[in-house]
Amino acid sequence: MQKELLLEIGSEEIPAGFIGPALKSMQNTMAEKLDELELQYDSIRTAATPRRLAVCVEGLVSRQPDREEEFIGPAKKAAYDQDNKPTKAAVGFALSKGAAVEDLQVVNTSKGEYVILVRKRIGEKTKNLLPELLSDLTVGVPFAKSMRWGDGNISFARPIHWLLALYEGEVIDFQVGDIKSGNTTRGHRFMAPGPLKVIDFTEYVDLLRQNYVLVDIAERRQAVVTEIRKAASERSGVKGAKILEDEELIDTVCNLVEYPHGVCGKFETRFLELPDDVLITSMREHQKYFCVTDTDGRLIANFVAVNNTRVPDQDLATEGHQRVLRARLEDAFFFFNDDRRKRLEHRVEDLSGLIFQAKLGTMLEKTERIAELARILAQKLAPEYTAKAERAATLAKADLLTAMVNEFPSLQGVIGRDYASLDEESPEVATAILEHYLPVRAGGNLPTEISGALVGMADRIDTVAGCFGIGQVPTGTTDPFGLRRLVLGLLHIMESQDFTLSLAEIVESSLQLYGEKLTEDRESAKRRILEFIKGRFVNDLIAKGVPGSAVEAVTSVAFDDVVDCRAKIEALAAIRQQQSFTVLAAAFKRVMNIIKGHTPEEVKVELLQEGAERNLYEAFAKVKAEIGSFLEEKEYGRALEIILRMKEPVDVFFDEVMVMTEEESLKQNRLNLLSEISGLFLQIGDISKMQSTSQ
């Protein structure tokens, strides 16, 4: 307990999803407040269960440091008269700081002589500062939703029942609402409900453990894993049975219990006729149950629940879970059988009753546009997939009208795939219906098959084009259609599939498909869309650690083919560390500055003078001939290695040749030569933006 601060906020059960963000906020806020008060510490730890949030500061100093404060007042000539007596300015300054005029000093500064006051501040004891700090921290914990109780002056995730606050073993007195802080915590609500006196964090953790509360989240999470695996293997009655691993569900369950107890139940085998995803979702989303599989990974008619209380009659507890789950599965079974009365393709026309966006029409209209865009994309990128992509696009949104998706929205796309398979659509079409939604989030899985990638691209481009076409453009704080996420997904799909595509052309096609629905000028909308996609592309690469100078060098010249841009950027990033490239980049900047505003014409070889000028032209002609095939094959790294040969002839040219000579014909010819050279370099990027290798 030496130099240790412990705060525990005890409450009614806090929703599982609130606990992680609350602990992070408490830890960050505690660090900020201690820093503001100049109170040094070693570390900050957190702990929690559904009934408590705790933070422990270790190595917290017992008082603030002493320090001197220096206040600058008026200039000496304003503070003292000719007889060196203090003026009203000096007296007023001293009074404003609570000091006597005799305490003032005169010092020389860069602006002349000024009056200053130096005051020593004695550091406050930590225990005197903690009541206000802990009170502010407690009422300041943010939650997605909060409750008010009593007189309604205090809000928290759930009503607060107790406060534990100790520093060096002594209670820190403060109050939130009508709850006063003390030195006691509480054990498990049912198995050990009484108060428990605490001295320090170590005893706090041990004492709670003895009273059926695992307050350390990592320890409790491991206990959950142990319990569910044990329940599946020992109580399912199936040899080799094991839990269907689900890390997110484990995290959720961990924050639903204080002392986990695994219970294995069973359900009727007829429910195994449901698609696996339906079974898993029915158990996972509503009941927080774990599925059980056999040794081959197939689902079996068992499940595992995690109780928060040890129940003497395990059979009774199991029967209760089975009864609840049976009702859920009966609903799912009914929805499934009801959905199967109508083929997926027969639902497409009914999408006319579902609005995509008020100004952009129905989901049926969107489906028709997606199908046409998918066809266009397939013709450009993978003609052999045209029919499959178009079919998948036609069926992609039909599962929105199923009872199963209405009940379980997270199964959108999944149900479409399963129903398409049951309708005997081709495996590629069924998979594409699911995969056109991928990636769901940043860093998520991408489509594995080309048909799904094509439909996913078409869907995203259609949404982006439509929103920009009616002026629904993301701002710094709003992005209601998630266009930033959609564009990132589009970029990642194109890169993963190595799709070489003109963005300008496909955006133009998408805008045309909207016909008269758009309210914005089409060319203006197209320009803004391409700038928006470019911005996402640049930000994404820089966030991944790609040198910003290389990204700017390429995208500042042209941005249309994502895969081509990425290849150029990677080539520039790889070569930028070479000293010769840095020198060439600086010389190229000089070239760009000289030819600015010049309208290039063909170089007249007969006007080239012997020496540096002719040598530069010959070197340029040779490099241009050699790199042509590499540029065509997009082998930009090899092209850059050849371009580096231009370094010496360019350097010598600038040393020995006067470009802006008075003889007009020579000047124009030299500018034409430099323009030809810049044009060659710009086929990869504006390397003048890459002078610093530190970027």
pTM for the predicted model, two decimal places: 0.80
- 3-class secondary-structure state, position 685: coil
Q: Which CATH number is associated with domain 344-545?
A: 1.10.3210
**Where residue 315 falls among pLDDT bands split at 50, 70, 90?**
confident
Query: Closest by alpha carbon to 393, among 425, 436, 423?
Result: 436
CATH fold, domain 562-690, is Isoleucyl-tRNA Synthetase; Domain 1 (1.10.730)
Tokens of 208: 């709670």
Alpha-carbon torsion angle 217, 218, 219, 221, nearest 10: 80
The reply to whether 562-690 shares the fold of 344-545 is no
Q: How far apart are CA 282 and CA 618, in angstroms?
A: 73
Q: Give yes or no for residue 2 having a pLDDT over 80.
A: no
**Where residue 579 falls among pLDDT bands split at 50, 70, 90?**
confident
Query: Closest by alpha carbon to 197, among 420, 68, 382, 6?
Result: 6
Quote the pLDDT of residue 256: 96
Quote the pLDDT of residue 366: 97
Whether a cis peptide bond, with omega within 30° of 0, leads into 383 is no
Q: How far apart are the first and last CA of the chain?
A: 48
Contact 616, 692 (CB under 8 A): no
Of residues 662 and 186, the one with the higher pLDDT is: 186
> Domain residues of the chain, as ranges?
5-63+125-210, 67-121, 217-339, 344-545, 562-690
Q: Give yes or no for residue 693 having a pLDDT over 50.
A: no
**Where residue 167 falls among pLDDT bands split at 50, 70, 90?**
very high
pLDDT in tens, 344-382: 999 999 999 999 999 999 999 999 999 999 999 999 999
